[in-house]
Every structure is written in C-alpha cells, then in structure tokens.
Amino acid sequence: MQIKDKIVVVTGSASGIGLALVTRFRQEGATVIASDLNAELGAQKAAELGVRFVAANVAKEDDVVRLIGDVEAQEGPIDLFCSNAGIAIGAGPETLDKHWQLIQDVNVMSHVWAARHLVPRMLERGGGYLLNTASAAGLLTELHSAPYAVTKHAALAFAEWLAVTYGDRGLKVSCLCPEGVWTPMIENAPILQPTAVTTEFLADKVMEALAAEQFLITTHPTTLQGFGQKASNYDVWISKMRHLRGKAMALLGQGQAAFVGKPE
C-alpha cells in the first residue's frame, strides 16, 4: 500500500511508536487521524503535527465504534487502521484479575473490536488494511510480565487469523513485532535499552513493510533468530531465556518486575 492520500487512523498516538507513525504517515501525504486515551497530550501532539485528534479509550468497544464512525463520517472510508495502543503491566500469576482484564482489553480486545466493526465495511468496499501492533514478545516472550507476553501472543495470533481468513477477499494485515524501541514503555526495562532502536528507525521499517504488504514487521534480527531457535528446539530456547531473565533481573537490581506501571 502506498500511504499518500490514504485515510489512516493511529491509536496510542500521544507517545512513542504511535506518535512516530502519525508523524511519518503525515509526512508521506496521508490524511491521519490520531487517537489516544490521553486526551490532553494527544490533542497537543496532534495539533503540533496538524492532524485531527479523536480521544478514545480502546479498552472500551463503544469508544472503538465511535472512533471508526467519527472518522468514516468526517474523513471518509478508512484505508489503514493502526491498532497500536498498548500497555505493559503486571508480573506473574499474582497479578490481580482486574489488571489481567485491563491488559487483555487494551492489547487484544481493542484489535478484535476494530476488526469487528471495520472488516465488514472494508470487505464490502473491496479491501482495506489493518496494522496491528503486537511485539517480539508475541513471537518469543517477555522477561518481566506474563500478562504482556500472553496478550502479545494473542495479538499476533489474531492478526494471523485475520490475514488467513480475509486475505483472499482484499483485506491486508501487517503485525508489528518490535523488540526494544526507545519510548517511555522501556524506561524500566534496562535489559532492552542497549539494543533499543529509535522510533524513526521503526517508522522506516513500517513504511517498507506497508509498501511490500508484508505480514510480519520486526526491528531486530535477533527476533527471527530467536523464533527459529524456539521452533527448532524449545527446551534449549527456554534455558537461554532463563539465563537472559537472570541478567534482566540483576539489571533491575532488586529482582522485582519492571512493569508494575500504573494500570488504572
């Protein structure tokens, strides 16, 4: 897909990867609609970039419906919908149910709701494009947070399913699976920082992949190397991950989980 003159929605637009995607899509000549839960920062960043902002909490289906309806009424049919908003919270199984539910809603159900309300419209008009942000954690794991690892696996599985099911009917799907990217999300994850890439580098990768209509978008060669090792010998891969987890916890200092964030 060429981005120029397309109608593009990006969720999680106030910060990090979403902000970088809005910036790049705007530079490439798209009509971009930025959306975030953080209405104040989101509106400020959108105004700086000269794009329209729609506040929405993607953890609520009604908000996703309102966002899609608002854009299609004002700008026209959405060509590319980027379900990018995501959170990293929790640690192990002791993570409270309400926090498991929240991360499930933000990282997975928001993708389901976007597809539920947009895919029928896209199929009816002969096609459309979904860019869903999962993570390298969806292919590998996340060393600090089980809820993050689980929900990113689910996000990748859902994107795969959409691509398999609707690809023959004109729906394009890409799944963004970065390793460390310099955004506020990795501030408390020192293990990711030495190899973290910039959001501009990530935006380059996304533009290349959208042009090629490629399903899987990664940012680090280590992601697919690790995925290959996992496929060829799961037990060896798990023992490598145990070793890496030891390093990650030592870097954190107290052996505590990094992603205890602000879930509410």
Ligand X SMILES: NC(=O)c1ccc[n+]([C@@H]2O[C@H](COP(=O)([O-])OP(=O)(O)OC[C@H]3O[C@@H](n4cnc5c(N)ncnc54)[C@H](O)[C@@H]3O)[C@@H](O)[C@H]2O)c1
Q: Work out whether 103 is an interface residue with ligand X (CB under 6 A).
A: no
The catalytic site residues sit at 148
Half-sphere exposure of 208 (CA within 13 A, CB side): 10
Q: 60, 50 in Cβ contact below 8 A? A: no
Please tell me whether residue 223 adopts helix, strand or coil conformation: helix
Instruction: Give the x-and-dash track for 186-205 against ligand X (CB under 6 A).
Output: x-----x-------------
Strand ranges inside 98-148, DSSP E: 128-133
Instruction: Give the x-and-dash track for 20-49 against ligand X (CB under 6 A).
Output: ----------------xxx-----------
Q: Which is nearer to ligand X, 96 or 236 (CB)?
A: 96
Q: Which is nearer to ligand X, 101 or 127 (CB)?
A: 101
Beta bridge pairs of residue 181: 197
Please state, in angstroms and as integers, the Cα–Cα distance from residue 177 to each residue in 84, 185, 197, following that order: 11, 15, 13
Q: Work out whether 54 is an interface residue with ligand X (CB under 6 A).
A: no
Q: Work out whether 263 is an interface residue with ligand X (CB under 6 A).
A: no
* Out of 9, 23, 30, 57, the residue judged to bind ligand X by CB under 6 A: 57
Any idea which residue has 């680090």 for tokens?
A: 220
143: alpha, beta or left, given left = phi > 0 and alpha = psi -120 to 50?
alpha
Contacting positions for ligand X (CB under 6 A) = 11-12, 14-18, 36-38, 57-59, 84-87, 106, 133, 135, 178, 180-181, 183-186, 192
